[in-house]
Structure 1
Amino acid sequence: MQIVSVSSLKGGVGKSSVTLGLASAALQEGVPTLVVDLDPHADATTGLGVRARHGHDVGEVLARPRRGALEKVLMASSWAVQEGRDSKALDVAPGSARSSRFDRSDYRDKDLGRLERALAGTAGYELVLVDCPPTLSALTRTAWAASDKVLSVAEPSLFSVAGTKRTMTAIAQFEQSRTWAVPAAGVVVNKVRHSSAEHRHRLDELAELFGPLLVDPVLPDLPVWQQAQGAAWPIHRWPGGEARDLAGRYTALLRGLLGRSA
């Protein structure tokens, strides 16, 4: 089971959208996947067509992080249900505002193991995607502590490039811990418009800054993705050429994460 945190220290770059795109690709590829929504805004939960029952969400699990506790709150995504998929095809640990109690700057090192403990014993999934809040807080670090890889989401803009540098620096500092370390990290660029000279310039800047850590392919800024998300529908099932192009890019990203050939 590979655990991947999807992170950004700047809001609005499409972090939850990338999580949903990878989840769509996983469903299409038949990769049993769990999405853990740590973001108190719970956008990934909404996008996957899930409504958490009271007291059955990630925030409640983190409050009492016993081994395997996450299993008790898991729900099948509407994407999997609509396709008649078996259990664990694409499940969700729903997010809620209750997670915000852990989204603070002060924390004890031992608290960072909460998600890792809650995930322990969870079986049947090949991939776990953790949608993190857009902050460098205890909640984000809790996700990193449980992860095999952190995928930092950037967009080709000045402020996002700066935010990505902060994210990667924070990951590097986190890796110096003897207790917690992230084995791998990468940067995926979202909302790209190749017709924009500014975007092309920022792509070159990101490539210079992060070199082999920059993940290929980049993800274009297409209205069709907003339409699919608004309908809580996987991009791999949305009609049209733009949707097919975007779906293919997410499939390529997923295969890269899993070390699979095209």
Structure 2
Amino acid sequence: MLVLGVCSLKGGVGKTSVTLGLASAALARGVRTLVIDLDPQGDATMALAVDDAGGTGADVASVLADPRASVVERAIAPSGWADDGLDVMRGSARSAAHDGPGSDADLDGLAFALSFVGDYELVLLDCPPSLGNLTRAGLTACDRAVVVTEPGLFSVMAVGRAMRTIDELRRGPAPALQPLGVVVNRVRGRSTEQAFRLEELRSLYGPLILTPFVPERAALQQAQGAARGVHTWPGEPAAALADVFDDLLDRALRAPRTT
């Protein structure tokens, strides 16, 4: 099971959209996947069309508070995107209560909880867009992490902070954690400013800049707004986006892992 954290230390760069694009690629390929919605905004849970009519009362905040097998089981629900193959550990605004400062010992709860999840090949962990205890706990549970950015000044600066956080965790509570790389989102083909920032990213991070870039296309927001994966959305722009996420998923699944 590969546990892949999707993070950004700047909001608004499309971190959850990238998580959903990877989930769509995994579902289309038949890779059994669990999405953990660690962001208190709960956008991934909503976009994945989780039906909570059963009312188990458990969510990711419950797991953080009490990471037992029975709680983990109740916190996971099927995605509405498909009958099988894609599940969600429900997000919750209540998880914000776990975002305060804590010791390294407090970071291990989610990693422990993952030992109780079902038979998944891939876990996608959508972290909050901030450097709090939730993000640190999420990354501590991961094998690999991708940092999502867009080619703008402040977003590029946030990549450095995220990479330093990953390195800090590697030297402490998460020695197996490795950066998979940087996903550049919302790229426009004819922007001089973006071209400058892309070159800046390449000069700073070299092979850690993952390709292909994710182009800015309305189809991605349209599919997610309709609670569907981009692989099932009609039209050539959606098909092109699906190809991008297929390639990024390939990169993630091929990455060697420390055991």
Asked if these proteins are the same fold (TM beyond 0.5), I'd say yes
Q: CA deviation at 1:68?
A: 6.5
Q: Using the alignment, how far apart are the partners of 1:96 and 1:51 within structure 2? A: 14
Q: Mapping of 1:208-247 within 5 angstroms? A: 208-247=203-242
Choose which of 95, 98, 102 in structure 1 pairs with 2:94: 98
Q: Give the 3 Å change call, closer, same or farther, for CA 214–68 of structure 1 in structure 2.
A: farther
Residues 111-150 of structure 1 deviation map (CA, whole Å, 9 limit, x = unaligned): 1011011111323100000000011111101011110001
Choose which of 160, 171, 174 in structure 2 pairs with 1:180: 174
2:116 aligned partner: 121
Report if aligned partners of 1:68, 1:118 keep a CA contact under 8 Å in 2: no
Q: Using the alignment, how far apart are the partners of 1:31 and 1:70 within structure 2? A: 21
1:59 aligned partner: 61
1:22 aligned partner: 22
Tell whether 2:255 aligns with 1:253: no
Q: CA deviation at 1:172?
A: 1.2
Q: Using the alignment, how far apart are the partners of 1:115 and 1:75 within structure 2? A: 17
| Identical columns (%) | 49
Report if aligned partners of 2:56, 2:75 keep a CA contact under 8 Å in 1: no
Q: Using the alignment, how far apart are the partners of 2:154 and 2:70 within structure 1? A: 39
Report if aligned partners of 2:7, 2:128 keep a CA contact under 8 Å in 1: yes
Q: Which stretch has the larger CA shift, 94-103 or 70-79?
A: 70-79
For the residue of structure 1 that corresponds to 2:112, the secondary structure is helix
Which 4+ stretches in 1 moved above 3 angstroms? 51-54
Tell whether 2:133 aligns with 1:131: no
Residue type of the partner of 1:154? T
Q: Using the alignment, how far apart are the partners of 2:193 and 2:36 within structure 1? A: 34
Residues 174-215 of structure 1 deviation map (CA, whole Å, 9 limit, x = unaligned): 2111x3225321110000001101111111111111111111
Residues 211-258 of structure 1 deviation map (CA, whole Å, 9 limit, x = unaligned): 111111110011111111110111000010000000000011001100
For the residue of structure 1 that corresponds to 2:36, the secondary structure is strand
Which ranges of structure 1 fall in alignment gaps of 5 or more residues? Answer: none
Count, aligned residues: 252
Q: Using the alignment, how far apart are the partners of 1:117 and 1:226 within structure 2? A: 34
Q: Mapping of 1:33-52 within 5 angstroms? A: 33-52=33-52
Which ranges of structure 2 fall in alignment gaps of 5 or more residues? Answer: none
Give the TM-score of the pair, scaled to structure 2.
Answer: 0.94
Q: Using the alignment, how far apart are the partners of 2:132 and 2:75 within structure 1? A: 24
Q: Which stretch has the larger CA shift, 133-142 or 61-70?
A: 61-70
For the residue of structure 2 that corresponds to 1:78, the secondary structure is coil
Residues 3-38 of structure 1 deviation map (CA, whole Å, 9 limit, x = unaligned): 001000000000000000000000000000000000
**RMSD in angstroms over aligned alpha carbons?**
1.3
Q: Give the 3 Å change call, closer, same or farther, for CA 68–157 of structure 1 in structure 2.
A: farther
Q: Using the alignment, how far apart are the partners of 2:103 and 2:69 within structure 1? A: 19
For the residue of structure 2 that corresponds to 1:212, the secondary structure is helix
Residues 142-163 of structure 1 deviation map (CA, whole Å, 9 limit, x = unaligned): 0111100011000000000001
